[in-house]
Amino acid sequence: MLFNSGCMLGWADKISGQTIRVDGPSHAFTLLEPIGVVGQILPWNFPTYMFITKLACALTCGNTVVVKPAEQTPLSALFCAHLISEAGIPAGVVNVIPGYGPTAGAAIGRHMDIDKLVFTGSTEVGRLLMVASAKSNLKSLTLELGGKSPLIIFDDANLDEAVAVADSGLFFNMGQVCTASSRIYVQEGIYNEFLEKAVERARQKVIGDPFTPGVDHGPQVDQAQFEKIMHYIALGKEEGAKLMVGGKRHGSKGMFVEPTIFADVKDDMSILQDEIFGPVMCVSKFKTVEEVIERANGTRYGLAAGVMTKDIDVANQVTRALKAGTLWINMYNIIDPSLPFGGYKMSGFGRENGIEGLKGYMQTKSVMTKLVSPSWL
C-alpha cells in the first residue's frame, strides 16, 4: 500500500500540459488543473487499500476529498484520517464521513459542490449514482462495478500451476474480490483431472478465525452476504450444476461458508451469470479457442480475465478477443498501481491507477495567445 501511494504521488511534480501547433499566428498550450472536490465511496472488501489508492490519485492532482467508507468497515478509514491529521495535512483537504449508502452515499452523489465521484461497488448502486449525477450538477463519474471474471485453462497449461492459480483466484479473501475468477473454463483434455485436483485442494483448506496461524479461509463480511451466497449455492443445485465439494455452512457460529466447487455449469445458470461475491467456483468444459472466447464474453460484466497456456499465439488471440479491462496470462489477481484498472460493459467505466487513473482527476484547459507577426514577414 505504501508503494501504491508512492507510485501515485511520484507524479505530483510531473503533471503538465502540452504545447500544441495550431494554424495561424497563435501560440497554443493546454493546462491540466484539479477537478475540484472529489467524492469517493469505498467498498468493504479492501477498505484500507481502497482508501489509500483513491486518496493518492486525488491528492496527487491537487484535489480535496470527501470519503465515505463502507458502513461495514469504517474504522480503517477513520484511523487513516487520524494519521493524516497527525501528519499535518491541512484541515478540509481530506474529509472522512462514515454513514449508510442511502443517506451519506446518496448525499455525496447529489451534492452540488462535489465535482467528481469515484465509486467501487455493485452495479446496482453505480446506476443510482449515475442518476444522482444527472439530477444534480452532472458531476463526472469513475465507476468500478461488479465482475464475473473467466479463467480459461488450456490443455497445454501446467496443470498443478493452473489448479493453484484457479484456487487463489477465486478463494482469496473468501471470494469477496471484484476480479475473482469465479468462472473457470477448462479444455476437455484435462477437465476431469483439473476437477479432481481442485476439489482436493479445496478440501484441504483450514476454515476458522483468520488471525489464527494456519487458517487460510475466514468468514464472509456479514449476515447479508452469507445469506446471499447460501442462496446461490441452493440455486446452483436446483439448476442442475454438479456440487463437487463444499456447499454448506461451516460450524454453528460465524458467517463461514465452505469453499464450494460446482462442475458442469451451463452458460445460462444463475451461478455463472450473477456475481456471487463468495467462495463459489463454477467449472465448465470447452473444446475450441473460438468457443471459449464466445462463452467467456457471454456475461454482462467485463472487469478481468485470465488465460493459462504455454502457446503465446493462443494467449495473444484470447487476450485481444476478451472484453475485459485487465487480462492475466499464466497468473491471476496481481494488481500493480502503475497499471490502469477498470472494466468493460456493466463492470463500469473510467480507469483508476497509473497515468490513466490520474487523468480522471484533472480538467484539461486549452489556451491560445495571438502572436504579432514579425516585421520581416
Helix (H, G, I), strand (E, B) or coil at 311: coil
* Tally of CB atoms within 10 A around 5: 17
Do you know the residue count of the chain? Answer: 377
Rounded to whole angstroms, the Cα distance separating 142 from 117 reads 6
Q: Which residue out of 33, 144, 161, 275 is catalytically annotated?
A: 144
Q: From residue 41, how far is each of 106, 116, 143, 203, 281 by CA, in Å? A: 10, 11, 10, 36, 28
Cell 490519485: give the residue: 57
Rounded to whole angstroms, the Cα distance separating 187 from 181 reads 16
**Residue closest to 317 by CA, chosen among 296, 299, 286:** 296
Cell of 13: 511534480
Residues 307/308/313/317 CA torsion (nearest 10 deg): -20
Rounded to whole angstroms, the Cα distance separating 57 from 86 reads 20
Query: What does the DSSP 8-state code read for residue 102?
Result: I
Is 144 noted as a catalytic residue in this protein?
yes
The residues annotated as belonging to the active site are: 144
